Amino acid sequence: MRRHRKIKIVATLGPASSDKATIRALWEAGADVFRLNMSHGTHETIAALHGHIRDVEAEIGRPIAILADLQGPKLRVGVFANTAVDLEEGQAFRLDLSAEPGDGTRVQLPHPEIFAALEAGTTLLVNDGKIRLRVEACGADFADCTVTVGGTISNRKGVNVPDVVLPLAALSEKDRRDLEFACRLGVDWLALSFVQRPEDVLEARELAQGRAAILSKIEKPAAVKAYDSILAVSDGIMVARGDLGVECPVQAVPPVQKRLVRGARAAAKPVIVATQMLESMIESPMPTRAEVSDVATAIYEGADAVMLSAESAAGQYPVEAVRTMNNVAIEVEGDPTYREIIEASRKVQRRTVADGIVSAAREIAETTEIRAICCFTQSGTTAALVARERPRVPILALTPLTRTARQLCLTWGAHCVIVDPQERFKGAVLAAAKAARDDGFAATSDQIVVTAGVPFNVQGTTNILRVAPCDERLITRSEA
């Protein structure tokens, strides 16, 4: 029941993976976290998927994380009298608030807040950047543009505005309803789309009221610029390369990805690399070599998780896609170069007692015959700090809280075990030794490192470390 890799796999559920049997097959193939896309499906459909996941979780006896991905504000043009028109480079084209069907000279853009933020020279991207418009003149209800890249524009195509921070809340009314529904349902993570500023995250956090952790999707240039402040108020990060690749020059995406991953690692917050990782497996049972290299790059960078979107939600080979990602991860993590890169990119953090404890735990584990680092945690912070060290040995995250165990399923290397609450450190050591033996991480003759905070059941008190045997008789004898 243990994974033989450290990076986690997020699989999106959809029409191709909506029944319980397929969800279980996805978990058995390697999925650690299931993503529910709130852009698609009714609340009834989402609730059914949630129920199937929890049923699988109960059957296998292992915690599973559920991530609800909020749609975010969608900016779209209106409709055309003839469904679509062709725009040619150099021609004039107007966007306005009129609800009249569009033609070859104009179309509705029903978002007055966009017009309020525009200025001459602003670039507008339509249909994932396939069409580009340059604003020449604008007012409260119009924007006169020149087509700089032509193409076919049709009903309700999406619009991106990369040059400005739009006066839009990250949460639409639909998102607010979906957030409350997802929290009541009992999801573990909420992914917030189109974040532009830290205030967007704080708004979602206030609405969630601690019922789910908040993961910020970085997909706009404004979010990249404000990354440090957004990261500070987020529980996790998603490198959402889809819209990021539309609004930023495509050549800028790889260095941005590296910066975002390293920043999240340093902050001990999980980071997901997402979008088009195994895109060809929507229709093919085998990925391209470039896609395999893309997944491998995220693993070498030390990301906490890699994500499948349409591959597992709507593709013809959802289970094969997860299995492929799992196999790539095992192969990469077995490469000696992987350890060299991970350790070279490690930034030692020793500002607090907890930092020192987890750093010492890793050094002890890697210089002696230690089989695992076992950390007792209430909020998950201790396990996240241990994971930041990217140790060579397995991490057992022991917690009495089911929600914490589920949330930690997104954290690099964390094997989550739900245990009884402990009042004394001796009990914690005994529970750690049992978990290490039961889940195949150590034998009775082996040793483990145990970290915890005393007094127990108080968050943020990681202050103790012990090298302990896995033999309960030796633990009891040493405490006598």
Which among 24, 205, 217, 269 is annotated as catalytic?
Answer: 217
Per DSSP, what are the bridge partners of residue 399? Answer: 418
Residue type, 209: Q
Task: Give all strands of the β-sheet with 447-453 in edge-to-edge order.
Answer: 414-418, 395-399, 370-376, 447-453, 462-469
Which among 54, 74, 76, 258 is annotated as catalytic?
Answer: 76
Token representation of residue 399: 């917690």
Q: At what angle do helices 318-333 and 20-29 cross, to 10 degrees?
A: 20
Token representation of residue 416: 């989550």
387 phi, psi to nearest 5 deg:
-65, -35
Catalytic site includes residue 45: no
Catalytic site includes residue 337: no
In whole angstroms, give the CA distance from residue 18 to residue 256.
34
Which among 35, 388, 403, 466 is annotated as catalytic?
Answer: 35
In whole angstroms, give the CA distance from residue 476 to residue 124.
69
Catalytic site includes residue 76: yes
Q: CB burial class (10 A; 0-12, 13-18, 19+) of residue 158? A: middle
Nearest CA-CA partner of 133 in 91, 83, 77 = 91
Q: Are 424 and 403 in contact (CB under 8 A)?
A: no
Q: CB burial class (10 A; 0-12, 13-18, 19+) of residue 391? A: buried
Nearest CA-CA partner of 273 in 23, 10, 17 = 10
Catalytic site includes residue 382: no
Nearest CA-CA partner of 437 in 477, 469, 478, 465 = 469
Structure-token match 């404890």, residue found: 357
In whole angstroms, give the CA distance from residue 112 to residue 450.
57
Residue type, 472: E
250: CB partners within 8 A, 6+ apart: none
Per DSSP, what are the bridge partners of residue 416? Answer: 397
Which among 12, 122, 123, 275 is annotated as catalytic?
Answer: 275
Give exposure, 6-24, as e/b (b: 16+ Cβ within 10 Å): bbbbbbbbbebbeeeebbb
**Residues with catalytic annotation?**
35, 76, 217, 275
